[in-house]
Amino acid sequence: MNFFSDRINRIKPSPSIAAKALVDKLRAEGRDIVDFTIGEPDLATPSHVIEAAVTALRDGDTKYTGSSGTPQLRKAIAEKLARDNGLDYSAENVVVGTGGKHIIFHALAVTLNHGDEVIIPAPFWVSYPDIVMVNEGIPVIVTGEASDGFKLSPQALEAAITPRTKWLILNSPNNPTGAVYTAEEFVAIGEVLERHPHVWLMSDEIYEHFVYGDARHVSPVQAIPGIKERCLVVNGASKGYCMTGFRIGFGAAPVPLIKAITKLITQTTTCPSSVSQAAAVAAFSESQDAPRQAGKIFEARGRLMAELLGGARGMAVEPPRGAFYLFPSVAGLLGKKTRAGSILQTDLDVVRYFSEEAGVATLDGTAYGVAPYLRLSFATSEDAIREGCRRIVQACAALK
C-alpha cells in the first residue's frame, strides 16, 4: 500500500530531535546519561519575559493575531534589527513565525519549484537539506576546509552556482562548528552573488548573541548592503533569550517575500501564539542583560569543555568561536578496539561507544554532512560538562 507521499518519504527525522528522544528514553529506564546533544540553553527565561507572558494571559490576550504577527512585535523586531545589527527594516518587512525553522520552511515552500537548487555549506544544521527536499528542491552541499572552520569560500560558491540555483543558506555563528564569518568574508561572498542576481541569500542568525574572543557577529546585509533586496534574515527569541518553548522566530526581507510567506501561514498555522508574541515584545524591547550574560556564561563553558577534552586521546578539539557547540574530529579514534572487541569504524560507532560505555550522549558529524566528527553541546551545566568530559577522556583511554 503506497499511502504516504513521495514528499514525506524523501526526508529523515531530525537527528537532533531523535537524539533528545533517545536520551529521555534511556533516563526513563534508569540510565545515568550526560547529555551533550541538546541544542537549547539550560538557563532560565528572563523574569521580565515571563511577567509579560503572565500579563498577556491575565489581560485576555489569548486570541488569534494577524498571520504575520502582531504590529507591536513586528515593530519591536524592526527596532531590534536597527539597534543590534545596524539594519534598516520597517515592520512591513517582518514576518513572525512559530520558531525560526517555521520561517525557513515557509520561505523555501513559497520560492522553490521542482528541481531548484539550494547551496548549503557543510557542516550544516541538520534540517536544511530535508526542508529543501520536502519542498522539491535539490540541496547542493559544499564542504569547506577544516583549517578555515569549514567556512564557504568565494571560489567554492562560484563553482556551485548554476542556472537552477535559487538560494544560498549561510548560518553564522554556525551550528555545528561555531564558525563565525567576518565582514570581509561576507563582502567576498557578496561579490560572487553580485555576478549571479538570480541567487537569493538566506542568513540564519539565530546564534548571534554567542560569539567569543575577538569574534564579532555581523549580518551579511550589514556587510553587503546591496544584497538586502534578495536576502532573508532569519532569527528568533529561542536561543539568545532562552525561549525555545515559546516558539517565536522571525524573518526580515523584501515585502513581496514577506507577503508570500504570510499567505502560506494563513493556510498552515494561522498565526504564532499570542501569549508568546507578547513575551517576545518584552524580550526584544526591554533589558538586553540576559543575552549578554548568557553569552559570557557559554563562552566560559565552551573554554572549559575544550580544555577538558584536550586530554581525550584520539580527539582533535578546537576552542569555539561562536554558538554553543564543539565540533571535534574523532579520526584518531577510528580503527580502535573497544573492550568488547568491536572496531570503531565511523563517527556513528564513536557516538554509540560513548553512549553505551561512558553514558555520554553526543551527535555524529555525519548527520551534519561531515565525518568523522562529533557535535558536543556545552549548553548545559558546568558540573555536567566536567563529568561528561571525564567520562569521554576515560572512554578514549580504554580503547586499544
pLDDT of amino acid 22: 76
- Residue by residue, pLDDT tens for the chain (400 residues) are 589 998 888 888 777 777 777 778 878 888 889 999 988 999 999 999 999 999 999 999 999 999 999 999 999 999 999 999 999 999 999 999 999 999 999 999 999 999 999 999 999 999 999 999 999 999 999 999 999 999 999 999 999 999 999 999 999 999 999 999 999 999 999 999 999 999 999 999 999 999 999 999 999 999 999 999 999 999 999 999 999 999 999 999 999 999 999 999 999 999 999 999 999 999 999 999 999 999 999 999 999 999 999 999 999 999 999 999 999 999 999 999 999 999 999 999 999 999 988 999 999 999 999 999 999 999 999 999 999 999 999 999 999 9
Answer yes or no: are the C-beta atoms of 211 and 181 closer than 8 Å.
no
The whole-angstrom separation of Cα 380 and Cα 39 is 10
The whole-angstrom separation of Cα 211 and Cα 3 is 46
Written as nine digits, the cell of 323 is: 554558538
pLDDT tens digits, 253-305 = 999 999 999 999 999 999 999 999 999 999 999 999 999 999 999 999 999 99
1: exposed, middle or buried (C-beta count within 10 Å: 0-12, 13-18, 19+)? exposed
**What is the helix, strand, coil percentage profile of the chain, to 5?**
45, 15, 40
Between the alpha carbon of residue 165 and those of residues 3, 162, 203, the distances in Å are 32, 5, 16
Strands 374-377 and 363-364, bridge-based pairing: antiparallel
CATH class of segment(s) 63-286: alpha beta
Q: Which of 104, 98, 113, 155 is nearest to 131 (CA)?
A: 104
Answer yes or no: are the C-beta atoms of 230 and 260 closer than 8 Å.
no
Would you state the torsion angle of the CA atoms of residues 221, 123, 209, 307, taken in this order, to the nearest 10 degrees? -140
pLDDT of amino acid 1: 59
Portions of the chain given CATH number 3.90.1150.10: 6-44+290-398
**Concatenated DSSP letters of 92-143:** GGEEEESSHHHHHHHHHHTT--TT-EEEEEES--THHHHHHHHTT-EEEEEE
Q: CA angle at residue 47 from 282 to 61, to 5 degrees?
A: 50
Fold of 6-44+290-398: Aspartate Aminotransferase, domain 1 (3.90.1150)
3-state SS class at 54: helix
Portions of the chain given CATH number 3.40.640.10: 63-286
Enumerate the β-bridge partners of residue 249.
Answer: 97, 236
Write down the pTM of the prediction.
Answer: 0.95
Q: CA angle at residue 180 from 178 to 183, to 5 degrees?
A: 175
pLDDT of amino acid 127: 95
The whole-angstrom separation of Cα 164 and Cα 44 is 44
